[in-house]
Amino acid sequence: MATIYHNPRCSKSRQTLEILRTQGVEPDIVLYLETALNRDRLLDLLSKLGLSASQLVRRSEQDFKDNNLSAPGTTEEQLLEAMLKYPKLIERPIVVVGDRAVLGRPPENVMELL
């Protein structure tokens, strides 16, 4: 069973979902902007992705800038807390199959899981 952490307003997220469906996979869809992730789930996703918080954060978002998260000395913990508070900061989409996950940037990355 596949799960996609999806933002329907994001073209890459929509494209990734379409690839999954074209491949005959109807994933569980988590609208993470509406249903906030908890700390354990975010840490689990980071582990499955093999990424750090700094690799998953969207630096172009206004919340990133408004909270001065690019300041020298910003810790992984601070970035993690910011992503929990402002889920738009989480790069998307994330697709999980079992104990593996990929970031759908580019959307074709999802093929690694299928």
Domain that holds residue 92: 2-113
pLDDT (0 to 100) of residue 66: 96
pLDDT at 19: 98
The structural domain count of the chain equals 1
Q: How far, in Å, CA of 83 to CA of 78, rounded?
A: 9
Mean pLDDT of the chain: 97
Burial of residue 92 (CB within 10 Å: 0-12, 13-18, 19+) is buried
Confidence of residue 91 (pLDDT cuts 50, 70, 90): very high
Residues with a known catalytic role: 10
CA 76/CA 82 separation, integer angstroms? 10
Q: What is the CATH number of the domain that holds 101?
A: 3.40.30.10
Q: Residue 36: which pLDDT band, with cuts at 50, 70 and 90? A: confident
